[in-house]
Amino acid sequence: MTGSFTLQLVNGLAALMLLVSFALLAQHRILSVLHWFALQGVLLAATAGIVAWGTDNHELYISAIMTLLLKGALLPWLLWRAVMQLHVHREIEPLMNSTVTMLMALAVTLFSFHIVQPIEQMSALITRNSMAIATACMLLGMLMMITRKKAITQVVGFLAVENSLFFAAIGATNGMPLVVEIGVAFDVLIAALIFGLFFFQIRTTFDSLEVDAMQQSLREDDEA
């Protein structure tokens, strides 16, 4: 009984993950992007907790707590603090043609369901549907990085990709070994700290957080 109940819960959470990924892609206020990102972290921790309970895997409880603290609280808080200190919390980021972006997102989702077909057929784990959704979330995160112009939203896209990888690890494999998970979490934390450092450097050097301004300086440096 618990098997099918856990499966339903995880499938529900997977659907929510996909919803959040679409929401992230469609938001243009920086603060709401951060809110959705925090929600994604909480969903991730919930998934890990449920899978841990369903499979009676104690290591996974540890990673669930780690995820909640790191991805549900610490990373969104670090980003929020950076946004506040840089006074960009009111800024609105114009989206590149949102209809086209949404259609692309749709195509990407269909594509990921297509490529994981051979994988899904062989999976005997309780959470086999989530592989396709994890792949879709990963590609949507990448799409977010491509369509956004601001450094902060690009970073959120990057971290969303990281989140969906973690989701794939729990959903499809019931979690990677703890050593690897701690290592990955450690790397993500360092990466986030470096990102934070970069925001201020970019701001002081370029007077904005637009990525285009940076690319321009590289071109000028080469031509000078």
Partner 1 sequence: MMLFVATLLSPLAGGLLLGWMNHSKLAARLNILTGVTTFVCSLLLALQVLADDHFDALGGWFHLDAYNVFLIVLTAFVGMTTTIFSAPYMQHELEHGRVDARRMRLYHSMFQLFQLGMLLGFTTNNIGVLWVSLELATLATVLLVSLYRTPASIAAAWKYFILCGMGIALALFGTVLIFFTSSSVLGHGNEALTWTLLLQHASELDPAVMTVAFCFLMVGYGTKVGLAPMHAWLPDAHGEGPTPVSAVLSGLLLNLALYALVRCKMLVDGATASELAGHMMMGFGMVSLLVAAFSLHQQRDIKRMFSFSSIEHMGLMTFAFGIGTQLASFAALLHMTVHSLVKSGIFFTVGHAAQAMGTQKMAQIRGLIRHHPGIGWGLLIGTAAIAGFPPFGVFTSEFLLFTAALHTHPWTCVVLLLGLLIAMAGLFRAVQPMVYGEVPEQAVPVQVNMLPVYIHFALALLLGLSIPVFLASWYDEAAALIISTSVEVTIL
Q: Which residues bind partner 1 (CB under 8 A)?
A: 57, 115-116, 118-119, 122-124, 131, 135, 138, 142, 145, 151, 154, 158, 161-162, 165, 168-169, 172-174, 176-177, 179-180, 183-184, 186-187, 190-191, 194-195, 198, 201-202, 205-206, 211, 214-215, 217-218, 220-224
Nearer to partner 1 by Cβ, of 87 and 220: the residue is: 220
State the number of CA atoms in the 13 A half-sphere of 217 facing the CB.
9
Shortest spacing between CB 224 and partner 1, in angstroms? 8
Nearer to partner 1 by Cβ, of 90 and 219: the residue is: 219
Shortest spacing between CB 168 and partner 1, in angstroms? 5
Rounded to whole angstroms, the Cα distance separating 109 from 150 reads 24
Nearer to partner 1 by Cβ, of 1 and 194: the residue is: 194
Rounded to whole angstroms, the Cα distance separating 165 from 138 reads 7
Six-digit token pair at 49?
């907790």
Which residue's entry shows tokens 């973690």? 166
Cα separations in angstroms, 148 against 4, 8, 123, 194, 215: 40, 34, 36, 20, 14
Shortest spacing between CB 214 and partner 1, in angstroms? 4
Nearer to partner 1 by Cβ, of 90 and 205: the residue is: 205
Six-digit token pair at 116?
């994981």
